[in-house]
Amino acid sequence: MIKFPNTRMQRLRSSVNLRRLIRETELTQNDLIQPLFIKHGKGVKQAITSMPGQFQLSLDYLEEEIQEISQLNIPGVILFGIPEHKNATGSSALDDNGIIQQAIRKIKTINKELLVISDMCFCEYTDHGHCGVLNQNNQLDNDATLELLAKQSISHAKAGADIIAPSGMMDGMVAAIRQGLDSAGFINTPILSYAVKYASSLYGPFREAAEGAPQFGDRKAYQMDFANSNEALREAALDVNEGADMLIVKPAVNYMDVIYRIKQAHPEIPLGAYHVSGEFAMIKAAAANGWIDEHKVALEILTSIKRAGADFILTYYAKEIAELLSKSENI
């Protein structure tokens, strides 16, 4: 006679409500941050072809967008700017009346409680598309860029940014920004550091959206080698020691092992993961071909990112998934 097992794991999977009762990882609207691309001009709602459903928006379209995000109970947005003019130093990023500074002020008049995260980098503002100023050899000048990052951060904090998020992978960026913010009186403005940002091929759609592709070379000299994970632990530790209040791993899906390791190493530090443009675009493309159920796949992937250790997720799916979570009880 065949002896059947006494322990049957399927007993705990037999109904929707039983599965809900014992679910280990719960994805909610509270876990999501929506990226926005703000472009100089008026009447601009330019579709981003490689990112269906995402747009470059001018300031006059912000109210409609922010109201929608607020109604979905998404706690915050992260802003990327496309200025009218670019130059070698990205000086428009420091302008108190720059495109993102204006956007921050406008958002705060629409919903003052919505968290506004301001991305600190220069790739959208420089005519060469690199993440800082260059030296005479057309190489990134790390230390000169730090001075500008501090000034940029102060300007964005003055405009009302709730969180400053340096993303350029400059050595010492957190310390420089913390010193700058504190000296300007913004001691309570937290820093969300892109501590672990890989030189990934998954950023292509973003570079279209932000109009910030490098005009020559690449960013491998300052972003991380995708083959490395021990290095990520060192990067995170350096930023924590410099005063980072929160950390980001970017991209997310191909780096869930890194997310897990960073969270294990720094359980006390809130950890974000950026589900990047290429990861978003791949789901959209497969769904457009009828190969997958888009929202089920997106929900599975985002939940997996959280299961790996992320406390929150920056994702272009924020609005779609927030709406799905608000309506569906049978997930």
Q: Where are the domains of the chain?
A: 9-327
pLDDT tens for 64-84 read 999 999 999 999 999 999 988
105-120 pLDDT, tens digit each: 999 999 999 999 999 9
Q: What is the pTM of this model?
A: 0.93
Q: Residue 101 above 70 pLDDT? A: yes
Q: What is the mean pLDDT of residues 307-320?
A: 98
pLDDT of residue 218: 67
> What pLDDT does 188 receive?
97
Q: Is 197 annotated as catalytic?
A: yes
**What pLDDT score does 3 carry?**
72
Given 197, 263, 306, 319, the catalytic residue: 197
Give the side-chain half-sphere CA count within 13 A for 23.
17
For 135-187, write each residue's pLDDT tens digit.
Answer: 888 888 899 999 999 999 999 999 999 999 999 888 999 999 999 999 999 99
pLDDT 10s digits, 245-300: 999 999 999 999 999 999 999 999 999 999 999 999 999 999 999 999 999 999 99
pLDDT of the residue at 183:
97
Q: Please identify which of the residues 3, 42, 158, 250 carries the catalytic annotation.
A: 250
Q: Is 263 a catalytic residue?
A: no
Does domain 9-327 fall under CATH 3.30.2140.20? My reply is no
**Mean per-residue pLDDT of the chain:** 92
